[in-house]
Amino acid sequence: MSSKIEKLKHLYNLARLGGGQERINKQHENNKLTARERIQYLLDEASFEEVGALVTHRTTDFNMAYKVFYGDGVITGYGTINGRLVYVYAQDFTVFGGSLSETHAEKICKLLDMAIKVGAPVIGLNDSGGARIQEGVRSLGGYADIFYRNVQASGVIPQISAIMGPCAGGAVYSPAITDFTIMVENSSYMFVTGPSVVKTVTNEDVSSEELGGAHTHASKSGVAHKKSLNDVQCLDDIKKLLSYLPQNNKETAKKIDYALNDEVREVLSDCVPENPNKPYDMNTVIEGIIDTDSFYEIHKEYAESIIVGFARLGGRSIGIVANQPMSFAGVLGVRSSRKAARFIRFCDCFNIPLLVLVDVPGFLPGTYQEWNGIITHGAKLLYAFSEATVPRITVITRKAYGGAYDVMNSKHIGADLNFAWPGAEIAVMGAKGASEIIFKKEISKAANPEEKLMEKEQEYAEKFANPYEAAKRGFIDEVILPKDTRRKLLKGFAMLENKIVEGPKRKHGNIPL
């Protein structure tokens, strides 16, 4: 029996060694942790239980029968993060460059199947050269098997992808289906076709970093929700993100103990300038409302005219969607609409209440916006809010003009509570533009057109550029003092905690993709 035990120990030692010490050293030289080191740092101490450590590939072509590594390039298993069960897989770049084989894919699929059954998050640590070309269509089939399970898990359990090395070709689609993608700067990249193919087909010279690096995807494409400086920060980001999320779609995020005090925040009284055309930082408003230092922003560098992220309010996890007047006056565009819509739908999937802070002058005009489908993308945002059944509260801090007023979680599309600050302007458009249209003839005939325009602008502003017309009709539930906003929101979300909405029966809606 002792010899058999020794054999078992020997096999597990081989599995733990991955592609060998020389390749492990190479990983460290590239400022990257190994797959096992990543799992060890991510999970609670001694909590990881590996599944499939002795799996090997089945390929005999191209002398592969003589190149066998236990685990076959991916480490799979389960453990805990801050005591919460999670499933994790980490591709091992020291084994065939982390390339995906038939058995490699089977291990990931088995993990996803278990996670769906149990109802716990899945975290994928991606570091792979792509499909294992020695296996041909079998590796391609393996990718598709994973994609299918990602889709089945979508909206059932949170799925987080970390890109900690190369991720190219078919490998990119699994992270794209998951809920959040975090990339490591200077050591990770994602693209469907690499620089050499781009050069051949389009004659463009571009580096891997420029084509699909962390900065590119965090700021230009929006593929990455967050970028991290290194492996350790990336794993810390995963831990923090997970703290705002529930285990699955049947649960709510864990509430942190919070003792209610005097919740009046005087700092909010001076956030919005008297001049309606002067920008201000919506982050100041957010920080003035939420629990101290609890905001975790998503997509920070992408579509900056809108802010999305998680925070805590009285210990509760909430999702925040807010226009940002510091960027293009907070207008809605192609990218910002898509960014917000995706975030809203995630929050709705996982029972995370939504707080919407509105200061929006409208949709961004121009040929680029129209030719790139602002109509469809704006409709995505409208659809996402209208579809959401979680508690939804809106606060209009300043401007809410035109169709953007409707889209930004107005009462008309199902918001539960709608507040406005006293300086809020709710109208079809700004007073100046409206006056130029309504009083066009009167202004043109005046002895002093500029003076007449100012007079009519003031007249229009007094009648419509305020929250009271909307309040008279019940479109605004209450006009509140800025300093009372946090107190009102605490009470509002507590009141809505047991909200239930039964929608019409259907297979699924048809969101304007």
Cα 384 → chain centroid: 14
Contact 304, 327 (CB under 8 A): yes
Q: What's the CA gap between 119 and 339, in Å, rounded?
A: 27
- By annotation, the residues acting in catalysis are 169-170, 403-404
- Strand ranges for 412-497 from DSSP E: 417-420, 425-427, 478-479
Cα 138 → chain centroid: 32
Q: What's the CA gap between 100 and 139, in Å, rounded?
A: 6
Q: What is the DSSP string of 35-64?
A: HHHHHHHHSPTT--EEE-TT------GGGG
Q: Which H or E run contains 421?
A: none
Output the CA angle 87-89-91, nearest 5 degrees.
175
For residues 6, 12, 14 and 17, what is the CA-based torsion angle, rounded to 10 degrees? Answer: -130
For residue 344, which amino acid is it? I
Output the CA angle 218-220-221, nearest 5 degrees.
80
Give 100's DSSP letter: B
Contact 340, 379 (CB under 8 A): no
What are the CA-CA distances from residue 495 to residues 272, 356, 417 (Å)? 28, 17, 11
Contact 283, 300 (CB under 8 A): no
Phi-psi region of 38 (alpha: psi -120 to 50; beta: other; left: phi over 0): alpha
Give 249: exposed, middle or buried? Use CB within 10 Å, 0-12, 13-18, 19+.
Answer: middle
Phi-psi region of 305 (alpha: psi -120 to 50; beta: other; left: phi over 0): alpha
